[in-house]
Amino acid sequence: MLLLIASYFFYACWDYRFLFLLMFSTLLDYFTGLKMDHSESKHGRRFWFWLSVIINLGFLGIFKYYNFFAESLAEALFDVGIKSHFWTLQVILPVGISFYTFHGLSYVIDIFNGKIKAEKNFVDYAVFVSFFPLLVAGPIERATHLLPQIQRTRTFDLTRGIDGMRQILWGLFKKIVIADSCAQFANMIFNDSASYSGGVLVLGALFFTFQIYCDFSGYSDIALGTARLFGVDLLRNFAFPYFSRDIAEFWRRWHISLSTWFRDYLYIPLGGSRGGTWMKVRNTFIIFLVSGFWHGANWTFIVWGFLNALYIMPSILFNTNRNNLDIVAQGKLFPGLKEFFQMLVTFLVTVFAWIFFRAESVHHAFTYIGSMFTGLFDAGNFKMTAHFLANEVGIALPLLLGSFLIIEWLGREHQYAIQNWGLRLAKPLRWAAYYSLVLIIVYYAGSGKEQEFIYFQF
């Protein structure tokens, strides 16, 4: 009950008026789950299942996608000479709606498929949906994983608590120091891309690449660490994705809870890989396009999803999508030359795709890319890029990014980068490292560069 009250208070701190949506979604799935369990006929179970799915997706569609479809239709009609005006919603998007909607959907789907029984204790179920560390930006949990942890008696474990605090510390560093510092320059460049040279536009894409990773994985680290203080282990959401050797491995390591959600509740029900090459290709494009659309009501996200589907196609067609299941250079300090180039190519194509994710429109993305490659290797372009680095960026951020990458690389075999500090480092060195992180975080937190978490908008 305390966790439920805390979670609702946490959500109300953003906007109490949208608490009704969270509560309604919770009540809907709770009661339809019970009704499915009590139904004696398949028809009855199917009725309650589809009632929950349609209403959940209906709310998500109205708040997140209605304006997008209305404006897109109006533009399409205008292009063929028909003037129209559609009423649009003047309302902000409820924070976290995609996340808690997917929590409820996975619950009712699992009941419908007979994987779990409906939860009779409303408080336990409500905590599963609204547990505050994951409420607004995930990870997207499953009832089979989280509900049993909520139901059992939990006692405070000092070792787990220390581990949780360490992960929170690393998450705060990634968000406040790395992500928000990169955001300052990514926003500067993307918001006025016509004023910059190709080299500076490349820097803008790189800054956003590190911003989105450190922003989102930083939130996940904070969420997982906080939950561990309460004796709860949430699903891991990131596993050092920028050290991937191909796109298939990248998507096993990026936003893991969403990728596995689409795999289990969309890809496999559509037939997965069982129906031959055409079905694999079709289903892969479907999940990537839906994944792009899940991120937001903008064509840029759909193009981003389509591009990633194209990236992964060679792995699907040649059955190499499960070639890299291990950790890169496991047990070694340095990767081999082949692994290094595989990581570099995967990273660069990922950076290219992030341009569409960050751009204001598809036209903006193509304009940005065109300008980025114009005169990229000219002497004047190098001069302007060097001037931007020296006079705008300075030396602090490149040093921080380099240190961050080294720490991430050295910690890639663990759940998060500094998990082994408590085991490997001598106590004086360990505490010096912790206090250094704390001081850097405090300094950057007071710099006035703070940015809202990117995934709050999804």
Q: Write the pLDDT tens digit of every residue in 98-115.
A: 899 999 999 999 999 999
Nearest C-alpha neighbor of 224 from the set 170, 179, 295, 291: 170
pLDDT (tens digit per residue) in 239-257: 999 999 999 999 999 999 9
pLDDT (tens digit per residue) in 270-290: 888 787 888 889 999 999 999
**Scanning the structure block, which residue is given the tokens 């009832």?**
143
pLDDT (tens digit per residue) in 333-383: 999 999 999 999 999 999 999 999 999 999 999 999 999 998 788 888 889
**Scanning the structure block, which residue is given the tokens 């929170």?**
168
Contact in structure between 334 and 410 (CB atoms under 8 Å): no
Question: DSSP of 291-316, one letter per residue?
Answer: HHHHH-SSHHHHHHHHHHHHHHHHHH
pLDDT at 86 over 60: no
Number of H helices, E strands in the chain: 20, 0
Regarding pTM above 0.85, the answer is yes
Nearest C-alpha neighbor of 137 from the set 221, 228, 207: 221
Looking at 324-445, list the stretches that DSSP marks H as alpha helix, in order from N- to C-terminal side: 337-358, 362-373, 379-388, 396-410, 421-424, 427-445
Confidence at residue 77, expressed as pLDDT on a 0 to 100 scale: 63
Confidence at residue 445, expressed as pLDDT on a 0 to 100 scale: 92
Active site residues: 295
**Position 397 confidence tier, pLDDT thresholds 50, 70, 90:** very high
Name the more confident of 93 and 452.
452
Q: How many Å apart are CA 188 and CA 358, to the nearest integer?
A: 12
Confidence at residue 40, expressed as pLDDT on a 0 to 100 scale: 82
Q: How many Å apart are CA 214 and CA 351, to the nearest integer?
A: 14
Name the more confident of 277 and 457.
277
Query: ∠243-236-281 over CA atoms, to 5°?
Result: 65
Q: Please give the structure tokens belonging to residue 341.
A: 């180039």
Residue 279's alpha-carbon distances to 209, 301, 322, 358, 414, in angstroms, are 32, 23, 18, 31, 36
Which of 221-235, 260-274, 292-306 shows the highest mean pLDDT?
221-235
Domain boundaries, the chain: 2-151, 159-245+324-457
Q: Of the ranges 11-20, 29-38, 47-56, 102-111, which one carries the lowest mean pLDDT score?
A: 11-20
**Scanning the structure block, which residue is given the tokens 């001598």?**
426
Mean pLDDT over each residue of the chain, to the nearest integer: 91
pLDDT (tens digit per residue) in 220-232: 999 999 999 999 9
Nearest C-alpha neighbor of 30 from the set 100, 105, 125, 106: 125
Confidence at residue 250, expressed as pLDDT on a 0 to 100 scale: 97
CA-based R_g, the chain, Å: 23
**Position 84 confidence tier, pLDDT thresholds 50, 70, 90:** low
Query: ∠265-212-315 over CA atoms, to 5°?
Result: 50
pLDDT (tens digit per residue) in 423-446: 788 889 999 999 999 999 999 998
Name the more confident of 375 and 126.
126
Mean pLDDT of the region 301-307: 96
Confidence at residue 252, expressed as pLDDT on a 0 to 100 scale: 96
Confidence at residue 378, expressed as pLDDT on a 0 to 100 scale: 86
Nearest C-alpha neighbor of 258 from the set 168, 357, 134: 134
pLDDT at 158 over 60: yes
Mean pLDDT of the region 158-166: 95
Name the more confident of 206 and 298.
206
Portion of the chain with pLDDT greater than 90, in percent = 75
Q: How many Å apart are CA 146 and CA 152, to the nearest integer?
A: 10
Mean pLDDT of the region 302-322: 94
Query: ∠311-315-317 over CA atoms, to 5°?
Result: 105
Helix, strand, or coil (residue 249): helix
Looking at 80-197, list the stretches that DSSP marks H as alpha helix, in order from N- to C-terminal side: 97-112, 122-130, 143-151, 158-172, 180-191
**Position 64 confidence tier, pLDDT thresholds 50, 70, 90:** confident
Mean pLDDT of the region 144-153: 93
